[in-house]
Amino acid sequence: MNSWLRRRPSPSRPPAAPAAQMAWPGLRPSILQLIGCLLGLSTAGAAQAASWTLSVQNASGQPLGDVAMAVEVKGQTGRAGAGSVAQMEQRQRQFQPFVLVVQTGTAVSFPNFDTVRHHVYSFSAAKKFDLKLYTGTPTDPVLFDKPGVATLGCNIHDEMSAHIVIVDTPFFGKSNAQGQLRLELPPGEHVLKVWHPRLGSPLLSSFPLRLVPGQEPAPLQLPLR
């Protein structure tokens, strides 16, 4: 279904091996680490975060925007720090943005910039809440403390709809109109979670994501038109 799993072939690249040990078989690892540090190439440095472009396409290979994307990096999952906030606005009887991605533990406020009143609610398992008819900004933001997807509506305006995607990782975002999201990530084997309203699922879909230095990952293809 997707080409994410497949690495681009790199026939000229020899299999990964501890290069330093091959070059100097007689040296102990601690000495190699010391040399590495002196050269500014410590083991930690080799795994440092780099900038990657994650791309997502529909079934015909066209870019897909508004895809919520979250990368789970082993040992780096969990809630956002205290004081993390985000905003879901109402303007011209629409929610803005249509898809908002936040980390668990984020407090979201729902300011109403219209002159009409809105009554914002979610019946979703990820977060049930109800902000009764209001103008301006309700005093208390809503805390999104469980991963999942909360679909929002307004009791007064049926055409108003939006989604808040809650993820357990600090590495997240949303694809732009070019179907791309740029993220700072360490290389390695991670899990990519994605969600799009037209996938029709209240859950995020998971895909393995292998980030190899010097290679952009192949586009992820979703079964959407």
**Residue 5 binds to Cu ion (criterion: CB under 5 A):** no
Tokens encoding 214: 């010097």
Nearer to Cu ion, 42 or 94 (CB): 94
Nearer to Cu ion, 118 or 190 (CB): 118
Which single residue brings its beta carbon nearest to Cu ion?
154
Q: Which residues from 87-126 bind Cu ion, rule CB under 5 A? A: 118
Contact of 117 with 132, CB cutoff 8 Å:
no
Q: Residue 180 and residue 82: Cα distance in Å, rounded?
A: 29
Q: Which residues from 135-154 bind Cu ion, rule CB under 5 A? A: 154
- x/- site string to Cu ion, residues 63 to 92, per CB under 5 A? ------------------------------
Nearer to Cu ion, 154 or 166 (CB): 154
Dihedral pair phi/psi, residue 154, rounded to 5°:
-125, 130
Minimum CB separation from Cu ion for residue 90, in Å? 7
Beta-carbon-side half-sphere exposure of residue 92 (alpha carbons within 13 Å): 2
SS3 43: helix
Minimum CB separation from Cu ion for residue 133, in Å? 9
Size of the site for Cu ion (CB under 5 A): 4
Residues that bind Cu ion (CB under 5 A): 118, 154, 156-157
